[in-house]
Structure 1
């Protein structure tokens, strides 16, 4: 009995030490206590002492264990371009999930920016004015922004939002820029494509970070005022996501005056604003056969500025991306000669282009895409909620049907998540972070999620969604959504290679240090990283076991009564994620990055953990608003369901025996991380989108809302308000019909009968008529004469001629 008690106590101590993670010395002491308790023989004590000596004394451990392990491990050679991508930016909160013990206090201390009075004024005046100047339909029809809009954008420094005031720009923070972009996106995709490229990846951003003082003083004021229209030429026919394989070539030489020049030949494509740019930023490989720069013959990838009027530049053509009329173009150059002084950052930065681009992309992916996608998502939420309330079928608003509630819930819940992650991410960038992995998560998840939300919106609108015209608010966004999916790297590669493939190397607490130590043969550095890594594996093994058994309840976490449970499940999720990551690293080694189906699922898991913490951070930072709780609950349940799906997908494909696989799968399905939101939760979100009030306003705040009822959204909003006001009156009429007081018939007939029998008053009858009139007007779709339709510049068959020739009436 005493032995059983001793073993129970030792087991509990073992589990506790493993769960909290203790130093090697504590484990050695624990082992000695076990031997003493069990009255172990001298030979076992001697063996234990020898093992303890080897493990505890670094000099002995390195000779006996670490160096032999170093000789056995084979790691793939990391190229300089891959190294630059891994080292780009910083590790932010994403690293917490790889540790298995996320520090939620640190995560919740991250900056959470708010709209300042100055920014609000700019949104209410300048941004509002841009949105008023042209509808998305007008821009689409004319295949360009109106000239007055171009002039206003230049006048109000929209192209220089991120350029400091001393250079003539607006000096906006990343958050301010993101907030402006979200509002512009809710009006037209063309606004964001045009304004976004001038403020994100382009000459201005690179000049700010790397340019010489002379380059900044000359170019930045011209870029801020719109005197120069920039573009950046990176992608080529044979170098898309693999941008390091660019073939654009520049050769250094001396001209007749002895000046150092670069002769460039290149062929680029998919370059936004390329056809109208006056200043081209170019990424190319620089060669210096005579070593005139003192950097060797193969200098490396370099970024340079080329005025568009330089001899040899070939501009003016444009691509037609899905019929969306923003400028996207090929850019070519044949024997283009410019001074080496045009290299961004001067000769000193020659060969540093890849590092510059990776760092700029790391921040840029986390700003422009989330802003644009959030604006679109909010518009979809606003439009579909109103339409679902206004549109009737079988005598009832379609928003009451459970089949419609389901996509409405996705739209509402995920819009809350997107806005939370947008603010969380740009807050970090403004605080000095350059979170490469988070930016890749943002690029992938925002574009993919918004595409799904637009699809849901189109399903809800039905026929109204597919008939293009000024009344249709979603069709052009539906057409445009594949574009951000492909920009700055295919989403497929972003998911499978960047988020986890590069993320694990960058964010894992020990992996990169181990790889670098093996490459350099540094046994001391490898020893320090390896044994900490092994300790981490032990800790995460115990945490995974105990948190799974307790369903996360053993985790010590922050939060109030409405959020604490979610933090516990996130701690549980992180422990399993870290444990499985290490298991797969041990199983596949350097070949793991080629297991793209597995890394894609790990990327999904990591992404939803990040989106979850962003959601919780927003809810807490905004004061735990009661009206937002329905969105938070739906969003967190949905997020854990996505993590569960990723986990099951990994376990199904683990390279382990089938019996073990079946047992593991059964356990995680019996004890899941989460399940999809309940129908009741979804119904609450769906109804909130259809109801005027704080929930709907807060969810969709910051987008452009036209006030005039002749505009599509203004008309829909007015109909929603009138239908809501008339709802109680209509209930009285329907109740009278059911009671037999009024005959069954058309709405107008019922209104007249109800008025005559004094079921309703004249004022109530007028309200019902106004609501029905507004409802009917709001659900109409655009129709054109043949001449009007052909006048849009669309090539359509001359049906009247064809029919006449066939003698058909």
Structure 2
């Protein structure tokens, strides 16, 4: 007892200090007081407390006296650290330095400060931006006929192209001083989302000039002459841009592209000037077939030392007019029957002056950094916004269809199998739209969200694929028969495109999210890397010691917090003041934030350089960070919208789904962690009472499905920003407009069916049945008219298109010799 009491006293003060993150000095003071109190309590048997106190004094001396600490701990560990740190490629170094850290840094802290999230302003469009969305953007959607574009033209109509240019859809991000619209990232997101709710071809065309393209690069890095020349033309649509990055032999590793340029002298506009002779081969370049100016990434070499003593100058970017001799724009690619303009770009010995380099000679060799910084902004908006538009439309359309389409005299949405898919659609749509909104808002807050943009790109497109699969399953034959009335088929075909482009999802999940997040978001890892690379040995040791002991305290704190929060099933965590129904979700995020930090630290410490190639572990840890970010986005959305009670089932379904995914990802890490004793210890800390999280329940799913199948405020909020105007080119708009009448007719249909089953009506055909029912007084004249109208609505909704065989034949003369098909 005498020896146990002081040990327990130190253990208790350590647990409290670690959980509350007290400083090392504070822990030392509290522990000393605790040992003294234990000695007093066991007096006169003071010897056990003296022994514990002596050991503690030695530890306190070494850890608190910095010169001694550096000599005995930090110095030796620095030597080990320099051998275990993974070697980073130039690609990785630039990616780690680019961008900013926002809320994702709080999630990696193990103790997120909720006041930072709640204090972020509610994202809102300006009156001008809202007017554009309600005016020109609506009109653009009205003009676009997606079946005509995808089946007949394999392109937008000339009228739509002209409207896009005249109304500056390609100049949304260009400031007004250059003739652009000067829109916020939120407005850019809203326009793309609305276009995507109608057509993937349309949204892709709008995305590219406003995403990773010449305009974005010129705004950040262009010379004044380049800005003044190109930006007004791009804003007016006089120039159509594309950006050529992907080489067939480099793929996602942009720093290894074999495309090259040689600094040399050549002829330009009749004069002998210093420039670059380019050789390149690019593919998958969106808008290339119609582009008038081509952005190009290549590796610049200066073998004759025209510019410097360095031969290999690194990745460099140029902006090249299409009319440049030798520049060849190839034939079109055909991306999965969603035929936005896309194709290859090639050139051999293409000479350009140095003035064509983006940013001029000053930015030679900075191309990869320029691309990474701009990609983090564009990737945060383009595909997440497109996915948001798609899942919003999928949820609204499928909810309406499941109510209108009947089998066994009952809406198919009432069947539990369909209801399960509807719940998944509603929950995933709620999560995806919150995620897309938050990443766009981050850009407007001045961030370059490298990690969140990767999270948003991966999870928005994966959720989009899950939703459209369920949408297709519920629609059945309606979804697979292409034609003007099919609003599902092209979206289903487009899903793999979003998954593939802007960094394939496998790569994004397994390497980028956690690979960048673990270093960029961690409060100490990047600082330790920088400290270890300090040139001055004294400064190196001092700075490394500071970061190392901060990191040690951070790791101990997260271990304690993960264990205690796991032991209490998150109940010990604090939640911000507000809606009591969401408090449990804040607590779960706090718990798994500490867990993520603990497991990530342990993996980096024990696996070292091996973690870089453990992509399955990295992917699972990335899933944890991603789901924490998505949960935060949903809570922020719920708060910004005034905590609407009717939305709660969708929020709760998506939250439980996310937490369950976090648990499974962590379990996967621990089951597959290569150092088994470490995995056992982690499991004891992370899951002290086992795997207690559960997937969303059936009753909750029923509530979500019910919300989707009838007009209500929650469904309206989920439908915000999509194109639902009922016109000839928008079958979903017509279906949604008819839904209230379908619902109003349901009691009348039940009366009619009851009369048929009772044998009161002898007629077999619908028209004769309602006439007979009217004659017998079973229904009124107004009810008869309603049934006729609803019958017409239902017929349109469930009908599919058919064609004369000649309409489906290709216009190409198949008897002619076939042209070379490989680009």
TM-score (norm. length: structure 2): 0.93
Aligned twin of 2:106: 96
Structure 2 distance, partners of 1:392, 1:662, is 55
Q: Does 1:209 align with 2:215?
A: no
Would you say 1:60 and 2:68 are equivalent positions?
Answer: yes
Shift of 1:329: 0.7
For the 8 Å contact 1:370–1:446, the answer to whether it is kept is yes
Q: Among 658, 664, 667, which residue is 1:648 paired with?
A: 667
The match for 1:429 is 443
1:376 to partner: Cα distance: 0.8
Unaligned runs of 5+ in 2: 40-45, 816-823
Q: Is the 8 A contact 2:86 2:609 kept in 1?
A: yes
What is the aligned counterpart of 1:508 among 519, 522, 526? Answer: 522
1:605 is displaced (CA, Å) by: 1.1
Deviations 1:605-634 (A, max 9, x none): 111110000000000011111221121111
Matched, 1:376 2:390: yes
Deviation digits for residues 286-315 of structure 1, max 9, x if unmatched?
A: 111232223622111111111111111111
Give secondary structure in 2 for the equivalent of 1:728. Answer: helix
Distance 1:152 1:160 in 2: 13
Check conservation: 1:719, 1:778, Cα contact below 8 A.
Answer: no
Structure 2 residue aligned with 1:585: 604
2:565 aligned with 1:547: yes
Give the match for residue 173 of structure 2: 162
CA distance in 1, matches of 2:226, 2:527: 38
- Residue 105, structure 1, aligned to residue 138, structure 2: no
Give the Å deviation of 1:18.
2.1
SS at match of 1:599: helix
2:31 equivalent in structure 1: 31
- Within the alignment, does 1:635 sit opposite 2:643 as a pair? no
Q: Which residue of 2 aligns with 1:50?
A: 58
CA contact (8 A) 2:563 2:688 kept: no
Conserved? CA contact 2:670–2:679, under 8 Å: no
Q: Residue 261 of structure 1 corresponds to which residue in structure 2?
A: 275
Post-superposition shift, 1:666? 12
Instruction: Tell me the residue number matched to 1:620.
Output: 639
For residues 389-426 of structure 1, the C-alpha deviation after alignment (integer angstroms, 9 at most, x for no partner) is: 11111111101101111111111111111111112111
Structure 1 residue 731, shift from structure 2 partner: 2.8
How far did 1:503 drift? 1.4
Q: Kindly indicate whether the alpha-carbon contact (under 8 Å) linking 2:479 and 2:486 is maintained by their aligned counterparts in 1.
A: yes
1:294 is aligned to 308
1:460 corresponds to: 474
1:517 maps onto 2:531 in alignment: yes
| 1:794–1:585 distance in 2 versus 1, CA, 3 Å | farther
CA apart distance, 1:735:
4.5
Match of 1:21 in 2: 21
Are the aligned partners of 2:423 and 2:701 in contact in 1 as well (CA < 8 Å)?
A: yes
CA distance in 2, matches of 1:667, 1:46: 33
* Paired residues for 1:245-644 under 5 Å: 245-255=256-266, 259-294=273-308, 296-520=310-534, 522-558=540-576, 559-644=578-663
Deviations 1:483-507 (A, max 9, x none): 1111111110100110001211111
For residues 694-709 of structure 1, what are the structure 2 equivalents within 5 Å? 694-708=713-727
TM-superposed deviation, 1:584: 1.0
1:228 matched to which residue of 2?
239
| Contact 2:314 2:364 (C-alpha < 8 Å) held by counterparts | yes
Aligned residue for 2:337, secondary structure, equals coil
Contact kept in structure 2, 1:111 and 1:428, CA below 8 Å: no
Give the 5 Å matches for 1:64-213.
64-73=72-81, 74-141=84-151, 142-213=153-224
After superposition, the Cα gap between the structure-2 partners of 1:295 and 1:188, relative to the gap in structure 1 and judged at 3 Å, is farther
Unaligned runs of 5+ in 1: 797-809
The answer to whether the Cα contact below 8 Å between 1:390 and 1:719 also exists between their aligned partners in 2 is no
Offset of residue 247 of structure 1: 0.9
Q: Deviations over 1:746-795 (max 9, x none)?
A: 65555344323322211112212221232123201101111222267798
Distance in 2 of aligned mates of 1:669 and 1:781: 55
- Using the TM superposition, name which of 648-657 and 99-108 deviates more: 648-657
Residue pair 2:197, 2:393 contacting (<8 A) in 1 also: yes
Contact 2:402 2:709 in 1 (8 A): yes
Q: Would the aligned equivalents of 1:755 and 1:765 in 2 still touch at CA under 8 Å?
A: yes
Deviation at residue 739 of structure 1 after TM alignment: 6.4
- Asked if the contact 1:202–1:281 (Cα under 8 Å) also holds between the matched residues in 2, the reply is yes
Distance 1:208 1:345 in 2: 10
Secondary structure, aligned partner of 1:433: coil
Task: Give the secondary structure class of the aligned counterpart of 1:479.
Answer: helix
| SS of match in other structure, 1:300 | strand
Q: Which residue of 1 aligns with 2:821?
A: none
8 A contact 1:274–1:329 mirrored in 2: yes
> 1:199-240: CA deviations, max 9, x gaps?
110111000000111110001011111111111010001111
Query: How far apart, CA to CA, are the structure 1 residues paired with 2:729 and 2:292?
Result: 38
> Which is further off, 350-359 or 651-660?
651-660
Is the CA contact 2:562–2:686 (under 8 Å) kept in the aligned structure 1? no
Residue of 637, 661, 684 corresponding to 2:703: 684
More moved, 440-449 vs 313-322: 313-322
Instruction: Find the aligned partners of 1:339 and 1:789 in 2 and give their Cα distance.
Output: 49
Q: Deviations over 1:261-293 (max 9, x none)?
A: 111111111111112211111111111123222
For the 8 Å contact 1:390–1:723, the answer to whether it is kept is: yes
- Whole-Å Cα distance in 2 between the matches of residues 44 and 370 of structure 1? 57
User: Closer, same or farther in 2 for the Cα pair 1:718/1:709, shift >3 Å?
Assistant: farther
Contact 1:718 1:774 in 2 (8 A): no
CA distance in 2, matches of 1:665, 1:748: 70
2:478/2:486 contact within 8 Å kept: yes
Measured after TM superposition, the shift of residue 25 of structure 1 is 1.2
User: Secondary structure of the equivalent of 1:338?
Assistant: strand
Structure 1 residue matching 2:580: 3-state secondary structure: coil
Aligned to 1:714: 733
In 1, the alpha carbon distance for the partners of 2:13 and 2:763 equals 76
Determine the C-alpha separation between the residues in 2 that align with 1:659 and 1:543.
18
Checking the alignment, whether the CA contact within 8 Å between 1:269 and 1:330 is kept in structure 2 is yes
Contact 2:13 2:31 in 1 (8 A): no
Within 1, Cα distance between the matches of 2:179 and 2:90?
Answer: 37
Aligned-pair CA distance for 1:251: 1.1
- Offset of residue 670 of structure 1: 5.5
8 Å contact from structure 2 (residues 144, 729) kept in 1: no
Report deviation, 1:745.
Answer: 6.2
Secondary structure of 1:536's match? helix
**Match for residue 804 of structure 1?**
none
CA deviation profile, 1:96-153 (whole Å, cap 9, x unmatched): 1211111111122223311332222111211111111122111112111111111111
Q: List per-residue Cα deviations over 1:678-729 (Å, max 9, x = no partner).
A: 1111111111111023222111111111323684223422442221110122
Give TM-score, length-normalised by structure 1: 0.94
